Structure 1
């Protein structure tokens, strides 16, 4: 990988890791579902005027909007609102073993003993983290994030059916469909939306803008370019930096405690996820290369 592209890859992982902290700023002032509705609404506003939806693809995008936009992000951000950013950055990595398991069930991918070991180690790391006494009152929130990770794994399978679509097209039109869904869900479940919007500080609006512009539009554009330029074996290992940057950001910027269970659970999860990624089957590599 060229030095500039290496820096871009690390930069994208830094954005994704630091995004957990930025999200906490937004969630401190905005209800989670409303926060996501605003994020997707801004993405749609910025992308939809410049991308065209091909005929016959509305069903695929609608399914993705329900799975990823509505379900995954609702669960993820409701959970994130009640746990540390560092904890969420580690727990969401369950998506990797969940993806491997779904690929085995649905596509017959061979797991192998090494990847099975990686799955067990990753899940064990999350269990260590969840078992910390200070998280006893937030186990439900950790459970929501685990569920969000599993839904994300399912959404990845849906995205494999859409590899012919440009990522900006997917992000733009999925956001256009997801935003009203999330707004309706917010109106049904949450309260105080108007007060939250009118009283939100610049930090909250910065969080919405960061999520939409920097994370969804900017960083994913760079990442998809790297995926199309380099092999999966060259790009995917960089994703192991996301929980590292997430934990460091939470500790440095939010003064979150760096407990032994966080460190041990995080290291175990990272090792397990690393084994799964580095032992990726060739068939999966070929599919991921074009996504």
Structure 2
């Protein structure tokens, strides 16, 4: 893996973790509803990416695709609504478990294979995530768990669709712009449940503009240098990064279990990223 891909991947994971923190803050500590958060997030992302395209070149068209936009919208909406009734640990486990399974299944289907070193790394990373999440996770409500499962599969599909794009910024901008009619329809259908406050709106706009819009464009750039196994495994770091950031920024407890989990997950990812892969 090149240093450029490694740097882009690290930045994308930080953006994803920041997005989780902003969503958690908004839906747990402000008055904004899930539909409004989703709509503002996607609209802010679309506007920010459009402006970045214009600054880069006035003649650069947005590209993207409707399948990718649909996957992005389903992920964002299901993620927001699931977190109304899910605790953070169970939600992260379901989301990223679904992401890994969908992307790894695609990699296997396309003939990618891990060697022994990569397989051990993947198992160590999964074990580290389980150490952090399972012991403290209560049984989640069925409907919310299913929504988060859908969100994870949708994000896996979105990531896979982005692996072959030639212009990550233009593709991400096009995808976000295509979600606008979908998000307006969502808001119209749930107009009677709309509520928000200034803090909730701020978190939604920041999530859309920075950690979603810019973050996803960085992720699409990183995906060009990652195999499906690598792209799937590296995202296991997001719950760990989010938990560590929550400890530093939100005064959440930093336990020995968290430190051990972080060591296992990041060590496992390092093994997967350094392992040789083969196709059959």
- Residue 20 of structure 2 is aligned to residue 20 of structure 1: yes
C-alpha distance 150-224 of structure 1, shift in aligned 2 (>3 A): closer
Contact kept in structure 1, 2:129 and 2:236, CA below 8 Å:
no
Gaps of 5+ in 1: 55-59, 284-291
Partner of 2:183: 182
- Residue 51 of structure 2 is aligned to residue 52 of structure 1: no
Contact kept in structure 2, 1:130 and 1:136, CA below 8 Å:
no
| Aligned pairs (5 A) from 1:134-283 | 134-138=137-141, 141=144, 144-161=147-164, 163-164=165-166, 166-188=167-189, 191-193=192-194, 196-197=195-196, 200-201=197-198, 203-220=199-216, 242-258=238-254, 268-279=264-275, 281=277
Contact kept in structure 2, 1:97 and 1:276, CA below 8 Å:
no
Cα distance, 1:31 vs structure 2: 2.2
- The count of residues paired between Structure 1 and Structure 2 equals 266
- Residue 80 of structure 2 is aligned to residue 66 of structure 1: no
Tell me how far apart the structure 1 counterparts of residues 240 and 127 of structure 2 sit (CA, whole Å): 18
Secondary structure, counterpart of 1:104 in structure 2: helix
Secondary structure, counterpart of 1:135 in structure 2: coil
Secondary structure, counterpart of 1:136 in structure 2: coil
Tell me how far apart the structure 1 counterparts of residues 126 and 142 of structure 2 sit (CA, whole Å): 15
TM-score, scaled relative to structure 2: 0.71
Tell me how far apart the structure 1 counterparts of residues 270 and 79 of structure 2 sit (CA, whole Å): 22
C-alpha distance 253-129 of structure 1, shift in aligned 2 (>3 A): same
Tell me how far apart the structure 1 counterparts of residues 46 and 179 of structure 2 sit (CA, whole Å): 9
Secondary structure, counterpart of 2:32 in structure 1: coil
Tell me how far apart the structure 2 counterparts of residues 32 and 269 of structure 1 sit (CA, whole Å): 30
C-alpha distance 118-144 of structure 1, shift in aligned 2 (>3 A): farther
TM-score, scaled relative to structure 1: 0.69
Cα distance, 1:265 vs structure 2: 5.5
CA deviation map 1:193-229 (0-9, x unaligned)? 1xx14xx12x22221221122223444555666778x
C-alpha distance 73-219 of structure 1, shift in aligned 2 (>3 A): closer
Cα distance, 1:6 vs structure 2: 8.8
Partner of 1:30: 32
C-alpha distance 83-258 of structure 1, shift in aligned 2 (>3 A): farther
